[in-house]
């Protein structure tokens, strides 16, 4: 079976749904299809809070049919390959879909299998993660029932989605354990592949002060390479700037894992990817217009893009109106008129009731939305994160309104 549509959007996540809804608001007559195999759509940003005991995971899920914009054709299938010359997308079912204009919004994939022993260990023996909907309940239970010992929280090499989440869940867990009297019987370790607590220096310094104050032990340049869940051992590769890498084994009672992440293989295999450098394998788009660097009728949005920004829903919220207008510009024979400044936002939960609102763009430039010191944790930002942003997502963003 073959399909053909004027605009084909690959992916029904935050970027694909929001973009389609916006385009339909701009021109109801547009012929748009979304290729998406999943039955459910998730607001993933709330999973950290769910694992901390705030809210239910079911509140983060909606049927895909419920968020699919009216008038958009939903092709319930998965992408296998893109043929830019023939302007066709090959689907898993064997069908193809032709396009005049293509938007790649397929996000990224979680590479659990790149860490030896992890897939066999997840979901038991204290090995948990908030990075998949099905895994959130075990993370909630593991953190809530923790009675002491070594708790390791892993931060893999970037790029990953929501790079603040690995330490947000750590701060929530540590606060819970302090309130429950568990903290004196436990040690909390932040195992990060990075060289600082956060990639933006303005926020790295106050976060370093927070971990020092709470006796959380950061271990920089530590990359998780293997897990033995039954023995409760995690093996890290430590690489300093001066020496050869060495492997160090840590015992754990709780291990919160964030896997390495990558673009789907078809991006590179179809010739759509950046071919070298830090963004190799990710979709090759102009970092300002989000138009493909070589193929003018292709755009990208969200986590799949090979641009030096932070991969968050907040970034997508700024990107999708830009892509919508630039796509219509190109369809009208004009140059893209809108420019993306790299904006992203990371509401860094530092404890129950307090959030530090990190908003920044390319090159770490601060882009605060409020006239307040963004490096100071505030209760108002907690309510923004917990109450307002989910409402804005479901009622505004996926409808193409904000």
CA distance 380 to 353: 9
Please identify which of the residues 122, 139, 160, 162 carries the catalytic annotation: 162
81 vs 350: CA distance, rounded Å: 42
Residues 253 and 313 both lie in one domain? no
Average pLDDT over residues 114-135: 97
Quick check: is 374 in a domain?
no
Q: How many domains does the chain have?
A: 2
pLDDT at 2 (0 to 100): 82
Domain assignment present for 347: no
Per-residue pLDDT at 1? 61
pLDDT value at residue 251? 98
The one catalytic residue in 346, 357, 358, 389 is 346
Average confidence (pLDDT) over 279-283: 97
What is the maximal distance between C-alpha atoms in the chain?
Answer: 66
Angstrom distance (rounded) from CA 137 to CA 379: 26
Domain range for 63 is 2-108+263-342+395-399
Which sign, positive or negative, has the C-alpha torsion 31, 319, 55, 126? Answer: positive
pLDDT class of 163 with cuts at 50, 70, 90 = very high
The whole-number pLDDT of residue 94 equals: 96
In a domain, 30, yes or no: yes
Over the stretch 208-249, which tens digit does the pLDDT of each residue have?
999 999 999 999 999 999 999 999 999 999 988 777 899 999
Residue 170 main-chain phi, psi, to 5 deg: -65, -45
Q: What is the pLDDT at residue 243? A: 79
Tens-place pLDDT, residues 47-92: 999 999 999 999 999 999 999 999 999 999 999 999 999 999 999 9
The yes-or-no answer on residue 128 being catalytic is no
66 shares a domain with 102 = yes
User: At residue 292, does pLDDT exceed 90?
Assistant: yes
CA R_g for the chain: 21
Closest CA to 23 of 366, 392, 327: 327
On whether both 201 and 242 belong to a single domain, the answer is yes
How open is the CA angle 149-155-157, to the nearest 5 degrees?
150
Task: Please check whether residues 63 and 198 belong to one and the same domain.
Answer: no
The model carries a pTM of 0.96
Distance of CA 177 to the CA centre of its chain: 27
Mean pLDDT value across the chain:
96
Task: Evaluate whether residue 370 is within a structural domain.
Answer: no
Residue 237 shares a structural domain with residue 311? no
Indicate if 8 and 45 belong to the same structural domain: yes
Q: What's the pLDDT at 3? A: 85
Q: pLDDT digits over 246-273, tens only? A: 999 999 999 999 999 999 999 999 999 9
Q: How confident is the model over 323-375, as pLDDT tens digits?
A: 999 999 999 999 999 999 999 999 999 999 999 999 999 999 999 999 999 99
Does residue 54 fall inside a structural domain? yes
188 occurs within a structural domain = yes
CATH of the domain at 172: 3.50.50.60
Domain boundary (260, 293, 314) is at 260
């Amino acid at each position: 079976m073959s399909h053909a549509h004027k605009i084909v959007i690959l992916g029904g996540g935050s970027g694909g749904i929001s973009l389609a809804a916006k385009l339909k608001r701009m021109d109801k007559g547009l012929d748009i299809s979304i290729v998406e195999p999943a039955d459910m759509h998730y607001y993933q940003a709330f999973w950290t809070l769910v694992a901390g005991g705030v809210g239910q995971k079911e509140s983060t899920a909606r049927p895909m049919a419920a968020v699919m914009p009216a008038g958009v054709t939903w092709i319930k299938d998965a992408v296998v390959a893109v043929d830019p010359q023939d302007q066709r997308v090959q689907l898993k079912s064997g069908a193809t879909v032709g396009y005049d204009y293509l938007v790649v919004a397929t996000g990224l994939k979680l590479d659990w299998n790149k860490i030896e022993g992890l897939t066999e260990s997840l979901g038991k023996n204290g090995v948990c993660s908030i990075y998949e909907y099905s895994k959130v309940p075990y993370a909630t239970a593991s953190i809530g029932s923790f009675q002491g010992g070594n708790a390791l929280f892993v931060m893999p090499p970037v790029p990953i989605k929501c790079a603040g989440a690995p330490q947000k869940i750590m701060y929530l867990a540590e606060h819970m354990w302090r309130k429950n009297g568990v903290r004196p019987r436990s040690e909390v370790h932040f195992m990060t592949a990075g060289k600082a607590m956060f990639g933006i220096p303005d926020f790295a310094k106050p976060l370093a002060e927070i971990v020092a104050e709470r006796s959380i032990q950061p271990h920089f340049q530590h990359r998780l390479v293997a897990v033995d869940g039954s023995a409760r051992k995690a093996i890290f590769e430590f690489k300093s700037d001066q020496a050869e890498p060495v492997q160090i084994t840590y015992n754990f009672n709780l291990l919160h894992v964030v896997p390495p992440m990558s673009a789907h293989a078809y991006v590179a295999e179809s010739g759509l990817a950046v071919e070298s450098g830090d963004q190799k394998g990710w979709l090759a788009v102009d970092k300002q217009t989000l138009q493909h660097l070589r193929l003018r009728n292709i755009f990208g949005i969200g986590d799949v893009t090979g641009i030096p920004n932070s991969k968050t829903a907040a970034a997508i919220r700024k990107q999708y109106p830009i892509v919508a207008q630039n796509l219509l510009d190109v369809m009208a024979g004009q140059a893209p008129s809108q420019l993306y400044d790299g904006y992203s936002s990371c509401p860094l939960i530092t404890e129950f009731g307090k959030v530090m609102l990190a908003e920044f763009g390319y090159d770490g430039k601060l882009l605060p939305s409020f006239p307040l010191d963004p490096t100071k944790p505030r209760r108002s930002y907690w309510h923004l994160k917990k109450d307002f942003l989910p409402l804005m997502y479901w009622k505004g963003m996926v409808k193409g309104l904000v």
